[in-house]
Structure 1
Amino acid sequence: MEHSRHLQQLAWPQVEQLAARPGSTVVWPWGAVEQHGPHLPLGTDALFAERVLDAVLARLDAALPVLRLPLQSIGFSPEHRGFSGTLSLPPELLINQLVGVGHELAAAGFQRLVLFNAHGGQIALLQTAARQLRSERPELAVLPCFLWSGPEGVAALIPEPERSAGLHAGLAETSLMLHLAPELVGPERPRDGHLGAPIPQGWSLEGQAPLAWLTQDLSRSGVIGDAGGASAALGAQLFERLVEGWRQRLDALLRSSWPASDLVSGQGPDPS
């Protein structure tokens, strides 16, 4: 059977052997089915998670013990309700699903689970689920990651004010989709967001002192930002920095011994 990074494409003895190796890791890509304005597909986040992750895995040393799970394509997207096609699952269902899958991976012998998430609206949910799973299966390290946070140089490609205010279906996402799947991008380049009353001083949409906003609070089109300057060339730059940044992080994780087995077992570090 040909070597594959996809767990579901392997036979159980292959999975058993890989899970038993030091540092064995499973990466689970998470997306969403939610509106992305009048010009991007509902599955934008899911497509980004899969395409970036597969490119990352292709660049890793084939000898490293890492597999990926099938995409979790429907997530937690209540902020985008009111726009046709948005699907949002209950948070408790997703938490239970994640914890249940994590239990199975831990029982199989895997040592780490990386949640590779491309939807900003479920960052906190996956962090909560990761903490719950880790408390129940301390032998399984759980790392909830967000596609756009971490790799160096990504933000530098996006000028202000789009870097701070382009939260959804704006310059970055439109450009990345123009690079990865231009046939799915419509001709419109909307500029929208921040409708109605101004944000109170000292508060923000994201970051410090955030507001639990809904898209309809801010936008008629579903876009929060400005897609006007989007291009495939910018998308190619974003893709390269995302892929290389996550390749470096996964490579460092896979070659590390974190977390130490004595800490996980509760014995504490060796004082010698």
Structure 2
Amino acid sequence: MTRSSTSGQRQLEMLQWPQLQRAAAQPGSTVVWPFGAFEQHGPQLPLGTDALFADRLLDQVLAALPTALPIWRLPVQSLGFSPEHQSFPGTLSLPAELLIAQITCIGAQLADAGFQRLVLFNAHGGQIALLQVAARQLRASRPELAVLPCFLWSGPKGIGELLPEPERSQGLHAGLAETSLMLQLVPELVGPERPIDGVLPEPPPAGWSLEGSVPEAWLTADLSSSGVVGDSRGANQGLGAALEQRLVEGWCGLFTALLGSSWPPGPANRP
């Protein structure tokens, strides 16, 4: 899948510096930085699954937005924070401190250029909290720059209703959703295996869970021998197409609303 001419115009690296300067000076100027990871995704999905999702879906979203909206993107950050998967070959994980320093450094330079918002568009669930920490640290050092750490799968509405239980709540990695979406986006990268793995032998104590309001810092090897945490057996391109549509439409709506507002509140908006 190649980038459309419209989405290509949104890429900061394709601008000359005077163009970038004019872009940053527009009211509400926003940069989106897609984040993925380089980690095992079971025997059927590529190591760059999360990065590919963030990159491809963001391009679709930006191509669908009105060209007048002041929003641009950075190249995808394909190496992330993945210590939970390091017992599997192929996983490459950055130290938390390095990723935080990178975000703080690049964010400060974007603020210096005059951009007003930075959206961290993340597709790897294992670094949600880390990007939230990095965003808060960046904001504290550069209060003029709004920083919004987002997760690809939790922004748009209606994603969960496409997935049956227990996969909706327990399919944490390389299961039904991710395998189906990859079958839709790049089917030639999907291998023939369809594992079901990582199923808990017994439920956690009442109120506790692997992820949720009272989570546990699980490692993939605790749960799975294949790297899959979930059930990929029913994965299909039709489900992938439905997931793609809701993700793209959902993020189009979210970015349109953001760019039509003065959100989030900053020093200039305080009474």
Determine if the alignment matches structure 1 residue 235 to structure 2 residue 237. Answer: no
> SS of the residue aligned with 1:114?
strand
Determine if the alignment matches structure 1 residue 137 to structure 2 residue 142. Answer: yes
Which amino acid letter does the alignment assign opposite residue 190 of structure 2?
Answer: V
Shift of 1:195: 5.0
1:67-86 alignment, distance < 5 Å = 67-86=72-91
> SS of the residue aligned with 1:63?
coil
Q: Distance in 1 between matches of 2:198 and 2:244?
A: 25
1:68-217 alignment, distance < 5 Å = 68-194=73-199, 198-217=203-222
Which amino acid letter does the alignment assign opposite residue 139 of structure 1?
Answer: E
Please report the RMSD computed on the Cα atoms of aligned residues, expressed in angstroms.
1.4
Determine if the alignment matches structure 1 residue 36 to structure 2 residue 41. Answer: yes
Residues paired across the two proteins, number: 265
Match of 1:264 among 259, 264, 267: 267
Q: Distance in 1 between matches of 2:224 and 2:184?
A: 25
Determine if the alignment matches structure 1 residue 18 to structure 2 residue 23. Answer: yes
Which amino acid letter does the alignment assign opposite residue 52 of structure 2?
Answer: L
Which amino acid letter does the alignment assign opposite residue 270 of structure 2?
Answer: G
Gaps of 5+ in 2: 1-5
What are the superposed Cα offsets for residues 19-52 of structure 1, whole Å, 9 maximum, x if unpaired? 0010000000000000000000000000000111
What are the superposed Cα offsets for residues 188-211 of structure 1, whole Å, 9 maximum, x if unpaired? 100001356653332100001101
Q: Distance in 2 between matches of 1:104 and 1:224?
A: 38
Q: Distance in 2 between matches of 1:53 and 1:24?
A: 17
Instruction: Give TM-score, length-normalised by structure 2.
Output: 0.95
Query: Counterpart of 2:3?
Result: none
| Identity among equivalent pairs (%) | 70
Instruction: Give TM-score, length-normalised by structure 1.
Output: 0.95
Q: Distance in 1 between matches of 2:72 and 2:198?
A: 39
Q: Distance in 2 between matches of 1:53 and 1:129?
A: 21
Shift >3 Å, 4+ stretches? 194-198
Q: Distance in 2 between matches of 1:82 and 1:152?
A: 34
> SS of the residue aligned with 1:159?
coil
Partners of 1:196 and 1:217 within 8 A in 2: no
Q: Distance in 1 between matches of 2:196 and 2:25?
A: 51
Partners of 1:195 and 1:217 within 8 A in 2: no
